[in-house]
Amino acid sequence: MNAIYGVYAEPASAQRAVEGLRAAGLPETSLLVLSAEPWGEYEFGAYRRHSRMPWLAACGGFLGGVVGFALVAGTQQSWPLRTGGMPIVTLWSAGIITYEMTMLGAILATVLTLFVSSRLWPARQPRLTDPALADGFIVVGASEPPDHLRAEIERRLREAGSEGIKTVPGSAC
């Protein structure tokens, strides 16, 4: 992936850089912002779109609950052995395992959605990284910038006070 980006020490300068890029007509999708910590209180760091994670968690939980109850009731019915004068399938003792499986389902759904939505899986290399990130700098830039805007972007970035403009060679990503 080829990208051009600037490194900013202050969140305010990073905000300016982003507004500059937007002003330069950079499409939102190719705007690139990276930071070593969440800057939610600034517009550039905030991410407005609501995530469907809570609903997915709820569905995962429900599914887990159903699987749990099916497992308990199904296995007890498959070979009904009476114990302690209790009925074969009761909500009292099946309820606990259903509850546990519900929570397990919810947890797994949450983590799964996180991994899928953030495209995180083992051994995946980040598309772009820079040692400066570790020292608290914020990276702002454009990924796959349209060629005609490349010079404009570089100017805007430097104007916003970047410590240095770096480009990533045009490897197809």
Partner 1 sequence: MSRRWGMVVDLDRCTGCEACVVACRAENNVPTVGETEAARGRAIHWIRIERYWEGEFPNARIRFVPVLCQHCEAAPCEPVCPTYASYHTADGLNAQVYNRCIGTRYCANACPYTVRFFNFFHPVWEKPLHLQLNPEVSVREVGVMEKCTFCVQRIKAAELQAKAEARELRDGDVQPACAQACPADALLFGDLNDPDSRVAQLARSPRGSKLLEEVGTQPKITYLARLSWSGDGEDR
Partner 2 sequence: MEKTASRINDDLLRPVLETSPRFYLAVVLVGLVAALGFVAWGYQIWNGIGVAGISRPVFWGFYITNFVFWIGISHAGTLISAILRLANAGWRRPVTRCAEAITVFALMIGAMFPLIHLGRPWLAFWLFPYPNERGLWPNFRSPLLWDFFAINTYLLGSFLFLLLPMLPDFALVRDRARGWRQRVYGWLALGWEGTPRQWHRLETAMHIMAVLIIPVAVSVHSIVSFDFAMSPVPMWHSTIFAPYFVAGAIFSGLAALILAMALLRKLLHLEEYLRTEHFSNLGKLLLVMSLLWFYFIFAERLTVWYGNDPAEMAVFRATQSGPYAPLFWVMVFCNFLLPVPLLTIPRLRTIASTVVAALGVVVGMWLERFLIIVPALAHKFLPYSWGTYAPTWVEITITVATFAGMVLLYMLFAKLVPVISVWEWKVGRHPLAEQRAEISPAVAKTVAPEGSA
Judged by the rule CB under 8 A, the positions of this chain that interact with partner 2 are 32-41, 44-48, 51, 53-54, 57, 68, 71-72, 75-76, 78-79, 81, 83-84, 86, 90, 93-94, 96-97, 99-101, 103-104, 106-108, 110-111, 113-115, 117-131, 133-136
Among partner 2, partner 1, none, partner that 94 touches (CB below 5 to 8 angstroms by kind): partner 2
Is there a contact between 163 and 8 (Cβ–Cβ < 8 Å)? yes
Q: For residue 97, give both structure tokens.
A: 């395992």
Q: How far is the CB of 81 from partner 1 (least distance, A)?
A: 4
d(CA 150, CA 8): 19
Q: Which is nearer to partner 1, 27 or 87 (CB)?
A: 87
Is there a contact between 32 and 142 (Cβ–Cβ < 8 Å)? yes
d(CA 143, CA 4): 7
Binding-site string for partner 1 from residue 92 to residue 111, where x marks contact by CB under 8 A and - marks none: -x------------------
Selected binder of partner 1 within 40, 81, 121, 169 (CB under 8 A): 81
Is there a contact between 37 and 151 (Cβ–Cβ < 8 Å)? no
d(CA 153, CA 135): 24
Judged by the rule CB under 8 A, the positions of this chain that interact with partner 1 are 81-86, 93
